[in-house]
Structure 1
């Protein structure tokens, strides 16, 4: 049977597209995920007003995660978008921060 493909044009797709187009930083997270906590804490420490969506607290969370997996090639959380582009998860964000690239990315969308 296999898994059904997520709807690439449904309400989950529209929600994700709208949020990443209208916010400099969007984090799709889960409340119990330590990697998500690290990512959210980093942006908080940088005083970046990131838009955070906790997938485990939303009725459409599983559908959003399926769509994010299809969109980005990974279903893992966090899924971080900066300036409309997926930059990856916690490891990538922490690496960008250490290299100084994160600050540059944030400046490009007028944040920080």
Structure 2
């Protein structure tokens, strides 16, 4: 193959998933940071749409498309209201700063604010 890769044919499929759910997490079942992100959202009483890439028939293809969309090579890869939040560290920082809560309010997603519990 040549030096540059062609765009992922799955990019539009992944973008459709991102935009059709209020909160989406691309994850793997074995990733410790994914487990932490799931736990944090669970404490906030938010149930994201989760795609476990290692169990999904198009997991590798979706992962490649996500890299194109976000320039992030790791999971979790989290979106709220179509906006890329990042991974666990960015999610935690966003909760501490209140920006994640603002995203939830913007899209009308109910949540429990745990900012005083962190």
Tell me, in whole angstroms, the C-alpha distance in 1 between the residues paired with 2:4 and 2:35. 30
Q: Flag the 1:74–1:3 CA change in 2: closer, same or farther, 3 A.
A: farther
CA–CA distance in 2 between the matches of 1:62 and 1:93?
Answer: 23
Q: What does 1:52-91 align with in structure 2 at a 5 Å threshold?
A: 52-91=50-89
Larger Rg: 2
- Count of aligned pairs: 110
Supply the distance in 2 between the matched residues of 1:101 and 1:79 (Cα, whole angstroms). Answer: 17
How many angstroms does 1:48 deviate by? 0.9
Counterpart position of 2:27: 29
TM-score, length-scaled by structure 1: 0.89
Q: Which residue of 1 aligns with 2:114?
A: none
Structural RMSD (CA): 1.7
Distance 1:97 1:18 in 2: 25
Instruction: Identify unmatched segments of 5+ residues in structure 1.
Output: none
**Aligned-residue offset at 1:94:** 0.4
In 1, Cα distance between equivalents of 2:3 and 2:83? 26
Q: Which runs of 5+ in 2 are unaligned?
A: 111-118
Per the alignment, residue 110 of structure 1 pairs with 108
